[in-house]
Amino acid sequence: RATSAGVKQTEANNFLEKRMKKKSDLTYDESIELAISTLANVLSTDLKPSEIEISVVTKDNDKVRILPESEIEQHLTRIAEKE
């Protein structure tokens, strides 16, 4: 499942729906990268690790985990390599 909230909610939800139609069973990394890609798309900007904060909760671990900038950088690099 994917959803968004905020000023660009409709644009973000449309982006998520298109991506989720292609593949709805995402891995942990794919989920994070989809979230980052959605944010970058609706803001029409390239993101830097210092500009975003990502928190993750999984079905296996219900505790909130904030990703360090180094991990965000790895995801941004993988996204850039796919483009």
Q: What is the pTM of this model?
A: 0.85
pLDDT < 70 stretches in the chain: 1
What is the per-residue pLDDT across 15-28, written as a single tens digit (0 to 9) for each?
998 888 888 789 99
Total tally of structural domains belonging to the chain = 1
Structure confidence at residue 1 (pLDDT):
64
Structure confidence at residue 66 (pLDDT):
96
Which residues form the domain of 16? Answer: 9-82
Per the domain annotation, does 1 fall within a domain? no
| Rounded Cα distance, 64 and 9, in Å | 23
Per the domain annotation, does 28 fall within a domain? yes
Per the domain annotation, does 2 fall within a domain? no
Structure confidence at residue 63 (pLDDT):
95
| Rounded Cα distance, 54 and 71, in Å | 10
